[in-house]
Structure 1
């Protein structure tokens, strides 16, 4: 069977001047609105150009097809989301793990809920896009930020930090996405958020070893590993 050729996903033109950046913002906003009203399958670059108030020629200068447009929209969104998570994690080094989880969950939740229409639109566009590279890049950035934060917790240490971190993020990300897929009303969504915080906090407390004041994290991990081997 012949292999399918992937459509070109990179933008043709990188905006640098303020006017070009404004044009790109208008195109992205128009893409979101067309996605919400027409869905990903009926969306065309012509419809987006009309909604954005730009010519089809201008549209084509940036994006050769709608897959490239979807890719760029997702790339911008995920880059902004990763930056927010990184900033939150860097500011929470050395505090109790419960406060870390609350800050992480609040940041991710608020980012998704800040503009629910954008989140909904991007979820709709995923069916039209192979965004594996974007997800991998986002995952690497978030994993690095959260594992570094958790490793500095003042009151806990994790012998399998990568596994714990993966479980934590999968739980948070999956739950938040399900809230959108179910289109839950705000009261129910907020109830889920509170339960999610409780669940994540209880999980981290269950899998962590208590850290004594002044204890060396590496030494404590070694001690836990040795105890596990002996048992």
Structure 2
């Protein structure tokens, strides 16, 4: 899912543009939602639709999920779904985007509350925030992860990557006991480490690997940050 298409050189890029100009074929009109909910009731309806879609995706491949079945599970009419999503592809893209937005929001919450903390604590909190969304429901995360290969995700992933890098950089910059010569490179490496290790779990659906990563990933990130920090 997130960062699945990261290249070797992309880790060191400092200006990843999430705009359609940078990725002319990404986020095409075919994947855009028809409209965004503006009232609480409409937002609840869209949430129910997205939740129903995820529930179906955890049971079978997305190729077998239809808007009709989603409507039945969400308890809405098929017409209601089409009010927001013109077709299934737009619906699946919305599910992926919602999941990625949750991950970013979780990391940004840590970033916004890192002042006064030491590097070790900030590192552990960043890892925990990233893992929280991904592993709380591993079946749902894996189902959503598999969507990326069939959707145009370049612009979306670039935007997510940029936001995550910024959040991690801000958090690390707040450490009371460490500085970094190139905070952009360091934040990029942390993001690549977090995404790469969790991607392995999502691909293998290995519960034992999940337990290992949950225990070892904080140690890995902590050791790297300690090694490159300037005291």
Does the C-alpha gap of structure 1 residues 136 and 161 become closer, same or farther in structure 2, counting only changes over 3 Å? same
1:62-81 correspondence runs (5 A): 62-81=84-103
Select 1:147's aligned residue among 152, 157, 169.
Answer: 169
1:198 corresponding residue in structure 2: 219
**TM-score (normalised: structure 1):** 0.81
Matched, 1:159 2:220: no
Cα RMSD (Å): 2.0
Report the number of matched residues. Answer: 206
Q: Larger % of helix: which?
A: 1
After superposing on structure 2, the runs of 4+ consecutive aligned residues of structure 1 that deviate more than 6 Å are: none
In the alignment, which of 93, 98, 103 is matched to residue 120 of structure 2?
98
Correspondent of 1:50 among 25, 49, 72: 72
8 Å contact from structure 1 (residues 40, 128) kept in 2: no
Q: Is the 8 A contact 2:57 2:140 kept in 1?
A: no
TM-score, length-normalised on structure 2? 0.81
Which stretches in structure 2 are left out of the alignment for 5+ residues?
1-24
The match for 1:117 is 139
State which of 124, 129, 136 in structure 2 corresponds to 1:107.
129
Q: Which is higher, the Rg of structure 1 or of structure 2?
A: 1
- Superposed displacement of residue 101, structure 1: 0.7
1:36 aligns with 2:58: yes
Mapped partners of 1:94, 1:130: distance in 2: 40
In the alignment, structure 1 segments of 5+ residues that lack a partner are 211-231
The 8 Å contact of residues 117 and 175 in structure 2, kept in 1 or not, is answered as yes
